[in-house]
Amino acid sequence: MNSGAANTVSRSPRFHWLNNLWPWLCAASVALSLLMLSALLVLLLVRGLGHFWPATLEEVTLSSGETFAGEAIREVALPQQEGDERLYFTGNQDIDGVRWRWVAIDDIVERSQPNDLIRLERSPWGDFIGRLVAVEQAGQRWEGEAAWQRLTTLLALPASQRQESQLLLTTANGQALRQPLANVASAQTPNAMAWWQKTHAWGDSVWRFLSEGPRAANTHGGVWPAIFGTVLMVILMSVIVTPFGVLAAIYLNEIAHQGRLTRLVRIGVRNLAGVPSIVYGVFGLGVFVYGVGGSLDEWFFSDTLPSPTFGTGGLLWASLTLALLTLPVVIVATEEGLARIPEAQREGAVALGATRLEMLTRIVLPMAAPAMLTGVILAVARAAGEVAPLMLVGVAKLAPQMPIDGEFPYLHLERKFMHLGYHLFDTAFHGEDVQAAIPLVYATALLLVLIVVVLNLTAIFLRHYLRRQRGNEC
């Protein structure tokens, strides 16, 4: 009677509009989600990749007669005043004491874009913006166009071969500077570059960002150590968590008696998925680092004490901590896949003479493999972006040694490592020049998203391959 009443209500003309509205609401939700995701990706692409494009430099003359050169960043309205002001990146911190300058637009008398303005990336003072006067090397001197050609030739050499070279520079207001060429990483004359030259320079900058290590408190240079550390940690985490998660799910669904205790364990596993990640970091610090690592140092590395070997944060403890963090995800996904397998498949295998172990390994597990990989995909997506637990168990702002090298045992699990998520956090909030680090934050965030997508796509393709293989066998 209740079912008939419900059908009567749903078919009533007064509620007919509601039946038509639900599909539109669902479609609108999907469209809004896709729009928000697209907006995020576009923002990361524009702000991240746009940072590497050679920006036009301006020479600005103020009403006071002062002249400076820099890159125009943005304009904002003056607070409680009429007019706007423009932010310029001027570099030259060793000369002016600052890298950024706000200028009221009404104070600007003249703006130009001379082709001879040069931008140098150097250490330790950051970028220089001005003019190249001459290049000196071993008693020889090059000026004018010859100076620029000599500079580009020398920059192609290793820094050790440029020790005796000097650059004579001047700022836009005429201040002279002598710069050792060994401390210069790159040089550009963006105003004189054609579009194809800028495209080549953009590609070269992107490649250096992907292949070099960070410099100048992470505001310059690349993120290769962080890329390597992130991928290596995720791979180790996946290797650790997959067998434990799969075996735990098999026990809960296939072996354990389905009583009250099993239900409580299953509820506990699902609740563990909601525990804040920093709690896992505290657990990893206390149990893995100080407990297990400290014991290993006492047993095998007593000669190095009090300097710890395994009793401090490292790649192994970070991977174990994130494996523990993502273990509930793998267990739940695998158990749901096992539960969807019809009972007739198990009974048929046993009836044909298969043992319980053969039934599990040859029938049940191959059918549940896509669900297992789904759990691994979810685990990878979460582990790659976690930062809070890593700060306690092994990540470093700058790791002087890579976890893998040519020395035995080649894979050094005790070493600290760099991670893109922590690099992103450190660059955004702990850098010397946060304003200069903002574009690198977008670029690093885009790179982290791409790495997660690549890792996930690898698992998805593998899952699809297993499904096709199972379909061919059937």
Give the pair of three-digit tokens for residue 280. 């896992």
Name the CATH superfamily, with its identifier, for domain 224-473: MetI-like (1.10.3720.10)
Confidence of residue 474 (pLDDT cuts 50, 70, 90): low
Q: Average pLDDT in the 146-152 region?
A: 92
pLDDT tens digits, 309-329:
888 889 999 999 999 999 999
Residue 239 pLDDT > 70: yes
Q: Supply the DSSP string of 159-207, one letter for each residue.
A: GGGGTTEEEEEE-TT--EEEEEGGGEEEEE-GGG--HHHHHHHHHHHHH
* Per-chain mean pLDDT for the chain: 87
Identify the weakest region by mean pLDDT among 80-84, 148-152, 219-223, 470-474: 470-474
Indicate the pTM of the whole model: 0.84
Q: Where are the alpha helices (DSSP H) in 185-314?
A: 195-211, 224-250, 260-272, 277-283, 294-300
Q: Average pLDDT in the 232-253 region?
A: 92
CB-count burial class (<10 Å; 0-12, 13-18, 19+) for 163: exposed
pLDDT at 69: 95
- Give the list of residues 6+ apart from residue 218 with CB closer than 8 angstroms, or none: 397, 398, 423, 426, 427, 431, 437, 440
Confidence of residue 470 (pLDDT cuts 50, 70, 90): low
pLDDT tens digits, 277-312:
999 999 999 999 999 998 998 898 888 888 888 888
Residue 8 pLDDT > 50: no
Residue 15 pLDDT > 70: no
Residue 440 pLDDT > 80: yes
Residue 349 pLDDT > 80: yes
pLDDT at 206: 92
pLDDT tens digits, 86-120:
999 999 988 988 889 999 998 999 999 999 999 99
Domains of the chain, residue spans: 51-205, 224-473
pLDDT at 11: 53
